[in-house]
Amino acid sequence: MHDNIETIESGYEYLLAYAAQGRETENGSETRSVLSDMSDAANAITDLQTAQESEFSEVVVTDAKKAGAAIRLVLSQDTISSELVDNLNASIHLRALLTDLFLLSETAERSG
Protein backbone atom coordinates (compact mmCIF):
# COMPACT_ATOMS: atom_id res chain seq x y z
CA MET A 1 0.00 0.00 0.00
CA HIS A 2 2.85 2.37 0.89
CA ASP A 3 4.27 2.25 -2.65
CA ASN A 4 0.87 3.07 -4.16
CA ILE A 5 0.41 5.99 -1.80
CA GLU A 6 3.90 7.26 -2.68
CA THR A 7 3.12 6.95 -6.40
CA ILE A 8 -0.01 9.08 -6.05
CA GLU A 9 1.66 11.69 -3.82
CA SER A 10 4.84 12.05 -5.88
CA GLY A 11 2.82 12.01 -9.10
CA TYR A 12 0.70 14.89 -7.83
CA GLU A 13 3.85 16.86 -6.99
CA TYR A 14 5.17 16.22 -10.50
CA LEU A 15 1.87 17.33 -12.01
CA LEU A 16 1.92 20.58 -10.00
CA ALA A 17 5.31 21.40 -11.51
CA TYR A 18 4.18 20.37 -15.00
CA ALA A 19 1.07 22.55 -14.79
CA ALA A 20 3.22 25.58 -14.02
CA GLN A 21 5.29 25.14 -17.21
CA GLY A 22 2.67 26.44 -19.64
CA ARG A 23 3.21 23.60 -22.10
CA GLU A 24 0.90 22.88 -25.02
CA THR A 25 1.96 19.24 -25.26
CA GLU A 26 3.64 16.67 -23.05
CA ASN A 27 6.32 15.82 -25.63
CA GLY A 28 9.71 15.46 -23.98
CA SER A 29 8.24 14.98 -20.53
CA GLU A 30 7.34 12.03 -18.32
CA THR A 31 3.75 13.19 -17.94
CA ARG A 32 2.04 10.20 -19.58
CA SER A 33 4.20 7.77 -17.63
CA VAL A 34 3.48 9.56 -14.34
CA LEU A 35 -0.26 9.61 -15.06
CA SER A 36 -0.23 5.94 -16.07
CA ASP A 37 1.57 5.03 -12.84
CA MET A 38 -0.95 7.08 -10.86
CA SER A 39 -3.84 5.32 -12.60
CA ASP A 40 -2.32 1.92 -11.78
CA ALA A 41 -1.80 2.98 -8.16
CA ALA A 42 -5.40 4.20 -7.87
CA ASN A 43 -6.59 0.81 -9.17
CA ALA A 44 -4.33 -1.03 -6.72
CA ILE A 45 -5.55 1.12 -3.83
CA THR A 46 -9.12 0.33 -4.84
CA ASP A 47 -8.36 -3.40 -4.81
CA LEU A 48 -6.51 -3.27 -1.48
CA GLN A 49 -9.11 -1.15 0.27
CA THR A 50 -12.01 -3.24 -1.06
CA ALA A 51 -10.59 -6.13 0.96
CA GLN A 52 -10.69 -4.03 4.15
CA GLU A 53 -13.79 -3.94 6.28
CA SER A 54 -14.05 -0.40 7.54
CA GLU A 55 -16.22 2.58 6.83
CA PHE A 56 -13.21 4.62 5.80
CA SER A 57 -12.09 1.96 3.31
CA GLU A 58 -15.37 2.51 1.49
CA VAL A 59 -14.58 6.22 1.25
CA VAL A 60 -11.08 5.52 -0.08
CA VAL A 61 -12.43 3.09 -2.69
CA THR A 62 -14.97 5.63 -3.94
CA ASP A 63 -12.41 8.43 -4.09
CA ALA A 64 -9.78 6.21 -5.76
CA LYS A 65 -12.27 5.17 -8.45
CA LYS A 66 -13.26 8.78 -9.15
CA ALA A 67 -9.67 10.05 -9.21
CA GLY A 68 -8.64 7.13 -11.41
CA ALA A 69 -11.42 7.95 -13.87
CA ALA A 70 -10.26 11.58 -14.05
CA ILE A 71 -6.66 10.49 -14.61
CA ARG A 72 -7.70 8.07 -17.35
CA LEU A 73 -9.73 10.84 -19.03
CA VAL A 74 -6.58 12.97 -19.22
CA LEU A 75 -4.56 10.00 -20.47
CA SER A 76 -7.07 9.41 -23.27
CA GLN A 77 -6.32 12.81 -24.82
CA ASP A 78 -4.06 13.11 -27.86
CA THR A 79 -2.01 15.80 -26.13
CA ILE A 80 -1.71 16.71 -22.48
CA SER A 81 -1.23 20.41 -21.94
CA SER A 82 -0.25 22.14 -18.74
CA GLU A 83 -3.74 23.66 -18.61
CA LEU A 84 -5.36 20.22 -18.77
CA VAL A 85 -3.11 18.98 -15.97
CA ASP A 86 -3.86 22.11 -13.96
CA ASN A 87 -7.55 21.26 -14.20
CA LEU A 88 -6.84 17.69 -13.10
CA ASN A 89 -4.83 18.99 -10.15
CA ALA A 90 -7.81 21.15 -9.15
CA SER A 91 -10.20 18.20 -9.38
CA ILE A 92 -11.95 17.57 -6.10
CA HIS A 93 -11.68 13.85 -6.81
CA LEU A 94 -7.89 13.82 -6.96
CA ARG A 95 -7.66 16.10 -3.94
CA ALA A 96 -10.06 13.90 -1.98
CA LEU A 97 -7.94 10.83 -2.72
CA LEU A 98 -4.78 12.65 -1.66
CA THR A 99 -6.40 13.69 1.60
CA ASP A 100 -7.60 10.13 2.20
CA LEU A 101 -4.08 8.82 1.61
CA PHE A 102 -2.52 11.39 3.93
CA LEU A 103 -4.97 10.30 6.62
CA LEU A 104 -4.28 6.61 6.01
CA SER A 105 -0.52 7.19 6.15
CA GLU A 106 -0.78 9.16 9.37
CA THR A 107 -3.01 6.62 11.11
CA ALA A 108 -0.77 3.75 9.98
CA GLU A 109 2.26 5.48 11.47
CA ARG A 110 0.47 6.02 14.77
CA SER A 111 -0.84 2.47 15.04
CA GLY A 112 2.44 0.83 14.52
Give how many domains the chain has, as a whole number. Answer: 1
**Domain hosting residue 63, numbered range:** 2-111
CA dist 2 and 99 (Å) reads: 15
Question: What does the buried/exposed string (b/e) look like for 61-86 if buried means 16 or more CB atoms within 10 Å of the residue's CB?
Answer: bbbbbbbbebbeebeeeeebbbebbe
CATH of the domain at 102: 1.20.120
Quote the pTM value.
Answer: 0.95
Axis-axis angle for helices 31-50, 92-111 (nearest 10): 60
Q: Quick check: 112 pLDDT over 90?
A: no
pLDDT digits (tens, 9 = 90+) for 12-70: 999 999 999 999 999 999 999 999 999 999 999 999 999 998 999 999 999 999 999 99
Residue 109's pLDDT band, with cuts at 50, 70 and 90, is confident
